[in-house]
Amino acid sequence: MLVSQQQKLQDEIRALAARHGRTRAALVPILQDLQVRYASVSDFAMQVVADEVGIHPAEVYGVVSFYAFLHSQPSGRFQIRLCQTISCDLAGKARVARQLENELGIRFGETTPDGRFSLEWASCLGMCDQGPALLVNDRVYTRVSAEQVHRIIDDCRKVFGAHAAQAAHAAHA
Amino acid sequence: MQPTSSKKTPLTFDTIAPGQGLAAALKKSRADIIGEVSASNLRGRGGAGFPTGTKWNLAAAAQGQDGGAKYVVCNADEGEPGTFKDRVLLLEYTDLVFEGMTIAARAIGATKGILYLRGEYVYMRPHLDGVLAARRTAGQLGANILGTTGFTFDIDIRMGAGAYVCGEETALIESLEGHRGEPRNRPPFPVNTGFLGQPTVVNNVETLASVSAILAKGAAWFRAIGTEKSAGFKLFSVSGDCGAPGVYEFPLGITVAALLEKVGGTGAKAVQIGGASGVCVPASEFGRRIAFEDLATGGSIIVFGQGRDMLHVAKNFMEFFVEESCGQCTPCRAGNAKLLEGIEMLERGACSSAYLRELLNLCETMQLASKCGLGQSSPNAFVSIVTHFQDEILGRTAAAH
């Protein structure tokens, strides 16, 4: 990472710590904000967060590795999470899953080489009466069929650009 | 493709005007508020069924360290498979939930509230933040609430990050404190030593909305609904093989058969009551009642039609628990993995009945020795499916499914 980028990240983390508080209880909110902005929490970011909150970096890593929505490895700008739990399973999630893999050319647990899409399984999304359900970042899709998968991915591609994360967020608000 | 409302029946909550419960509560002394909740026999709607009045009493009596604050936490980490009634409450009855938190705060003397919202529900944030802002403007949150001198209380929202176990109250508190969501030993209970070591009440979303209704309409009204040991109405999240899946309200004590009739699920092969950690009830037992004294549930009802492969169901549940076990204690971490392995043997038709008995013994060990509710209840579905559908799962050939 370039020094200037490191400096920028460091400043950003300091601002987050100032906002959420420099206490252990603020750790998860700080990490969540970083996850949204950078689609992962890098080793360097964990080190800075640890300094800000006053704990050992290994403790930060312990937290990042525990939660499914925090990633220490780079993940896609668009995180697609398909519910794998029983009601969505009964509603036909297997075919949606296969089609997601076909359209993106990756398997579950992988990220496309261009860094746009990650494909993951999710535990129950609370949309059990309208399955199969999936999340794209913070947007929820219900009653998804295999033939709709293509359109969902296309929607994401359209908003992808220099400000993809913000654009995606604005479109969902 | 866009989510639609899940509400299938009118709810009692429709008849409760926001503000009514809080206004009634503020006319009472703290002890009388708790007395009213205790008299209603309200039990925790998350599924464990602990008496809410008792919990509040303990928290009210507890002394914070160094005169520190007390906390009210709303557990909106709705993660039990097949449960989505809290989603409806949070989106469509938001005020009743925040009002319940405010009433709880008044009762136990808390100054700070936290809504712990599961990460998967992050799309609700703008709505929830908006309601909180409106409540502050209306004087329902902040200093001297509704003119009650000295009653100061406000609510923050904290997001979960995709961990089912954080629905367990001590894991939730660990998460709030910035740790891995690993459950604590109990005692001490959160009512004495909760968030940041201070007395903390953790209540489910529906419990808190019910509190608003109880204060508005009175304990006697609430107690007259349901059964003696399971008072009141309850929301049910119904999914699976039925005509009209969605959120329903029924009095506690309803039989499985009566519920199936209402949701268009008659003729089902089996029903899972209580989500992945609940039990699988076969058709021969559809006369049983859904209530704390018989089939306890946080509201998850999953219907399985005649054609469903019950071993596939058991496998889905076990994959869930292997994924969601926090890994802290051995019975749960190793036990769930071992059970999943056993299910895969059954799938291949390679499991002897002697080994199946071993697995059932392991289930008992997990139920007894796991540290928290996750490991204690994760074998339930497997045990009930093996018990009721043994004929279907033993001696499989590749063509059987």
Q: Which domains does chain B have, with CATH numbers?
A: 12-223 (3.40.50.11540), 233-304 (3.10.20.600), 314-400 (1.20.1440.230)
Q: Which of A15, A36, A66 is the last residue of a domain?
A: A66
Q: How confident is the model at residue A158 (pLDDT cuts 50, 70, 90)?
A: confident
Mean of all residue pLDDT scores within chain B: 96
In a domain, A35, yes or no: yes
Chain A nearest CA to B129, separation (Å): 13
Same domain? A114 vs A163: yes
Q: How confident is the model at residue B65 (pLDDT cuts 50, 70, 90)?
A: confident
Give the per-residue pLDDT at B66. 81
Give the per-residue pLDDT at A2. 76
DSSP secondary structure string, chain A?
Answer: --HHHHHHHHHHHHHHHHHH-SSGGGHHHHHHHHHHHHSS--HHHHHHHHHHHTS-HHHHHHHHHH-TT--SS---SEEEEEE-SHHHHHTTHHHHHHHHHHHHT--TT-B-TTSSEEEEEES--S-GGG-S-EEETTEEE-S--GGGHHHHHHHHHHH-STTHHHHHHHHH-
Give the per-residue pLDDT at A168. 45
Is residue A166's pLDDT more than 60? no
Same domain? A167 vs A108: yes
Closest CA to B322 of B116, B165, B185: B165
Which residues, including other chains, have CB under 8 Å from residue B358's CB and lie 6 or more apart?
none
In a domain, A161, yes or no: yes
Chain B nearest CA to A40, separation (Å): 13
Please give the ipTM for the structure prediction: 0.93
Q: How confident is the model at residue B399 (pLDDT cuts 50, 70, 90)?
A: low
Same domain? A7 vs A89: no
Same domain? A41 vs A123: no
In a domain, A118, yes or no: yes
Give just the sign of the alpha carbon dihedral A10, A11, A13, A14. positive
Chain B nearest CA to A66, separation (Å): 6
Give the per-residue pLDDT at A161. 54
Give me the percent of chain B exceeding a pLDDT of 70: 99
A53 to chain B: which residues are within 8 Å by CB?
A: 178
**Lowest-confidence region among A72-81, B109-118, B174-183:** A72-81
In a domain, A98, yes or no: yes
Three state DSSP letters for B232-265: CEEEEEEEECCCCCEEEEEECCCEHHHHHHHHCC
Q: Which residue of B has its CA nearest to A22?
A: B178
In a domain, A111, yes or no: yes
CB of B71 within 8 Å of a chain A CB? The answer is no
Q: Which of A66, A95, A116 is the last residue of a domain?
A: A66
Give the per-residue pLDDT at A170. 44
Same domain? A160 vs A96: yes
In a domain, A71, yes or no: no
- pLDDT tens string B102-111: 999 999 999 9
Give me the mean pLDDT over the A22-50 stretch.
96
Q: How confident is the model at residue A171 (pLDDT cuts 50, 70, 90)?
A: very low
Give the per-residue pLDDT at A167. 43
In a domain, A120, yes or no: yes
Is residue B400's pLDDT more than 80? no
Are B255 and B243 in contact, with CB atoms under 8 Å apart?
A: no
Is residue B386's pLDDT more than 60? yes
Give me the mean pLDDT over the A88-103 stretch.
97
Q: Which of A24, A39, A66 is the last residue of a domain?
A: A66
**Could you tell me the CATH number of the domain that includes residue A143?**
3.40.30.10
Is residue B338's pLDDT more than 80? yes
Give the per-residue pLDDT at A160. 64
Mean of all residue pLDDT scores within chain A: 91
Q: Do A123 and B164 touch (CB under 8 A)?
A: yes
Q: Which residue of A has its CA nearest to B162?
A: A68
In a domain, A21, yes or no: yes
Same domain? A87 vs A40: no
Same domain? A56 vs A116: no
The single residue listed with the structure tokens 């940041």 is: B196
Q: Packing angle between helix B52-61 and helix B30-39, nearest 10 degrees? A: 160
**Lowest-confidence region among A42-46, A62-66, A137-141:** A137-141
Question: A-B interface: how many C-beta pairs under 8 angstroms?
Answer: 144
Q: Do B276 and A86 touch (CB under 8 A)?
A: yes
Give the per-residue pLDDT at B17. 96
Give the per-residue pLDDT at B1. 75
Same domain? A87 vs A54: no
- pLDDT tens string B111-137: 999 999 999 999 999 999 999 999 999
Same domain? A57 vs A83: no
Task: Please name the amino acid found at residue B91.
Answer: L
- pLDDT tens string B314-337: 999 999 999 999 999 999 999 999
Same domain? A159 vs A98: yes
Query: Could you give the number of structural domains in chain A?
Result: 2
**Range of A33's domain?**
3-66
Same domain? A103 vs A50: no
Give the per-residue pLDDT at A142. 97
Same domain? A87 vs A153: yes
Give the per-residue pLDDT at B67. 77
